[in-house]
Amino acid sequence: MKERSVDRATQEMLQRAKSERLETAWDRWELQQPQCGFGQLGLCCRICNMGPCRIDPFGRGPQRGVCGADADTFTARHLGRMIAAGTAAHSDHGRDVAHTLLMAAEGKGGYQIKDPQKLRRVAAEFGIGPDTQSDAEIAKSLAEKILAEFGQQEGELTFTHRAPKARQELWRKLGIMPRGIDREVVEMMHRTTMGVDTDYYNIILHGLRTALADGWGGSMISTELQDILFGTPTPLRARVNLGVLKKDEVNVVVHGHEPILSEMLVAASRDSELQQLARQKGAKGINLAGICCTANEILMRHGIPIAGNFLQQELALATGAVDAMIVDVQCIMPALSSLAQCFHTKLIATSPKAKFPNTEFIEFREERALEVAKEIIRRAIENFPNRDPRRVQIPNESMDLIAGFTSESVFRFLGGRYRATYRPLNDAIIDGRLRGAVGIVGCNNPNTPHDWGHIELTKELLKNDVLIVASGCSAIADAKGGFLRPEAAFEYAGPGLREICEAVGIPPVLHVGACVDNSRILITLAEIVSEGGLGEDFSKLPVAGSAPEWMSEKAVAIGFYFVASGALVHFNTPFPTLGSPRMHKLLTEDLEKIVGGKFLFEPDPRKAARAILAHLDRKRAELKLREPMYTPVYA
Ligand code: NFS
């Protein structure tokens, strides 16, 4: 099982799955081999009914579809639609949060405003004041203005004004400043339908704009409004991996993305009547744990343990110990419904947007949020007596972690206990104790050993004095690997980074939240630029991003908004664009001349680390910074 995952809990459960003939994503991945070569290269087009068409990659067969579209158009249109889908996912999440803020302002649904200071700060950016208004009044105006940005037809998304001036100017000059969130997604769908935009460069340019509407729009709206509603996270301790499931408690696993649901489940799981009901049913308590990004959300704000990342969703069920798994939207494998039926586990879907065949559905409505959450927890408790203890196998694997860093909190730490400033961070980069900073984010994918890409890349960068910020399933991988403990600085960090972690008592990998919270990385970069001494734009900074095990269209949108913001972004496997050499060159070379950022595709995390370090050094040299204080160490 070592070739499937580097995580011991996962290996143990895969062994169980094998002996009990429970099918997992890894098995299905193997059954799909060899995967369709046309699809991998992006040389298949299904956009209209004259097709499906394909282009022969060896130049012996057709080189154009029936309409005349060539490989450049095929690949660009497909990639453009991936960006649109990823942007739509993050942004629809943001829309739901904005709607919840509106409900909170109107006193419906039991939601409150937990961070009124942040409410006022963000409202001011939208021109809402004066401060004499009540929180509810301000929240109402803010929610309405933000909801309007989804359908805005002209103008600029407000949060884009957080980017450095030079960057905003560049976006305007290139015509890629996002106008309205929905508008950019719709326009991408329009441009890529049959017979509209066939110029691959023009399509990708709009791809950049669509992605910017995600990073500086939908995702940032999700993050900021969630902080306002549920509280801005501060560092806290928790535990991670399948070992957080408990033999003697009701295990409720929440999986998906939107904290509107999971926050209420946290409240419901603490309800004293329900606790008592659990005891009546023979359990010692109610144990709430999370999978994927909704897990990151409630981890960051409440210290709720994480059962696992994307590829562990089926394995959590395979423990036989989950009494209910509650899902909302995104990254939920359809396979869960049949797997749950092999155990007593109740799989409960909650979003009208995401129903699953043969699966119980309890509609979650913000108006009745707490009521619905309690009902869900009650179902889980009532299912506890159906658990067969002989079929329970929980791996004895879990790890300590610290999470809850934000652009507001973390660098305050680096600024010392009493003064909030990015100066010490900038100085550490300038004097070479830190070589740079890298965001490692994104998914798992059975096409690469589970967690291996995240962990190896992290290790290589840490020993070379690179500070890591992590989110999504990558942060969970690193947490399981032990990198989110302060002690990890002694075990893995180079001398410069170790010195900093030791002085402020932080781990060398900072967990900044769910995937929508990659927007926190954008905000942090903006703070670094405005602190001064490292150039006037993002593209000058010795920073990079990486998604070393990507699978989701959301990862593509994220990659594009970081590139559009001027960063080097590494992905392990290439986009389905290799069938067009011109597209590949645009993505990996030419984009840098246009927006200052570009993609790097490299499946080997150690080689990727070298390339990223070389990039950081190049940026340092361009800024005429000192050589890094400590010599590089390579594997
Ligand atoms: Ni991100 Fe979250 Fe994980 Fe990938 Fe899915 S959970 S939003 S897409 S798999 S990191």
293, 332, 512, best to mutate for ligand 1 pocket (most atoms within 8 Å of CB): 293
Same domain, 203 and 252: no
Domain count, the chain: 3
Phi, psi dihedral angles at 570 (to 5 degrees): -95, 135
Domain membership of residue 399 (yes or no) is no
Distance (Å) from CA 443 to ligand 1 centroid? 5
Domain membership of residue 427 (yes or no) is yes
Same domain, 352 and 471: no
Q: Is the dihedral of CA 419, 425, 427, 433 positive or negative?
A: positive
Nearest to 615 by CA among 495, 505, 464: 464
Nearest atom (ligand 1) to Cα of 444 = 9
Specify the pLDDT at position 109. Answer: 81
Same domain, 434 and 582: yes
Query: C-alpha distances in angstroms, 605 versus 211, 243, 560, 628?
Result: 25, 27, 20, 22
Domain membership of residue 633 (yes or no) is no
Specify the pLDDT at position 629. Answer: 81
Same domain, 326 and 375: yes
3-class secondary structure, 422: coil
Domain membership of residue 289 (yes or no) is yes
Distance (Å) from CA 135 to ligand 1 centroid? 33
Residue nearest to ligand 1 atom 9, measured at CA = 443
Nearest atom (ligand 1) to Cα of 330 = 5
Structure token digits, residue 374: 């309690």
The residue with tokens 């490299």 is 602
Specify the pLDDT at position 415. Answer: 60
Distance (Å) from CA 307 to ligand 1 centroid? 14
Nearest atom (ligand 1) to Cα of 443 = 4
pTM above 0.85, yes or no: yes
87, 310, 474, best to mutate for ligand 1 pocket (most atoms within 8 Å of CB): 310
Specify the pLDDT at position 231. Answer: 96
- What is the CATH classification number for the domain harbouring 594? 3.40.50.2030
Query: C-alpha distances in angstroms, 307 versus 194, 399, 457, 544, 634?
Result: 44, 11, 23, 29, 33
Same domain, 364 and 275: yes
Distance (Å) from CA 294 to ligand 1 centroid? 10
Specify the pLDDT at position 186. Answer: 98
Same domain, 182 and 252: no
Q: Please give the radius of gyration of the chain, using alpha carbons only, rounded to the nearest integer.
A: 24
For 251, the enclosing helix (H) or strand (E) is: strand 250-255
Specify the pLDDT at position 633. Answer: 78
Q: Which parts of the chain have pLDDT scores under 70?
A: 410-420, 635
Same domain, 421 and 323: no
Q: Of 201, 230, 259, which residue constitutes the final position of a domain?
A: 230
291, 331, 336, 520, best to mutate for ligand 1 pocket (most atoms within 8 Å of CB): 331
The 8-class DSSP code of residue 508 comes to S
Cβ < 6 A, ligand 1 pocket: 292-293, 310, 331, 442-443, 472-473, 515, 552, 554-555
Residue nearest to ligand 1 atom 8, measured at CA = 552
- Rounded to an integer, what distance in angstroms lies between the CA atom of residue 86 and that of residue 443? 13
- Rounded to an integer, what distance in angstroms lies between the CA atom of residue 611 and that of residue 63? 34
Domain membership of residue 4 (yes or no) is no
Answer for the pair 90, 83: CB distance below 8 angstroms, yes or no.
Answer: no
CA max distance for the chain? 72
Distance (Å) from CA 156 to ligand 1 centroid? 28
Domain membership of residue 572 (yes or no) is yes
Same domain, 435 and 570: yes
Distance (Å) from CA 235 to ligand 1 centroid? 22
Question: Domain limits at 363?
Answer: 242-391
Same domain, 267 and 209: no
- Rounded to an integer, what distance in angstroms lies between the CA atom of residue 237 and that of residue 506? 12
Q: Any idea of the CA torsion for 238, 243, 245, 247, to the nearest 10 degrees? A: -130
Q: Of 209, 230, 251, which residue constitutes the final position of a domain?
A: 230
- What is the CATH classification number for the domain harbouring 114? 1.20.1270.30
Residue nearest to ligand 1 atom 7, measured at CA = 515
Domain membership of residue 13 (yes or no) is no
- Rounded to an integer, what distance in angstroms lies between the CA atom of residue 296 and that of residue 300? 6
Nearest atom (ligand 1) to Cα of 89 = 7
Q: Of 230, 257, 287, which residue constitutes the final position of a domain?
A: 230
Distance (Å) from CA 199 to ligand 1 centroid? 31
Nearest atom (ligand 1) to Cα of 472 = 10
291, 515, 521, 549, best to mutate for ligand 1 pocket (most atoms within 8 Å of CB): 515
Nearest atom (ligand 1) to Cα of 257 = 2
Specify the pLDDT at position 535. Answer: 96
Distance (Å) from CA 512 to ligand 1 centroid? 14
Specify the pLDDT at position 634. Answer: 72
Domain membership of residue 398 (yes or no) is no
Residue nearest to ligand 1 atom 4, measured at CA = 443
Same domain, 200 and 265: no
552, 553, 561, 571, best to mutate for ligand 1 pocket (most atoms within 8 Å of CB): 552
Nearest atom (ligand 1) to Cα of 554 = 8
Same domain, 494 and 446: yes
The β-bridge relationship of strands 250-255 and 236-240 is unpaired
Same domain, 199 and 250: no
Structure token digits, residue 32: 């799909």
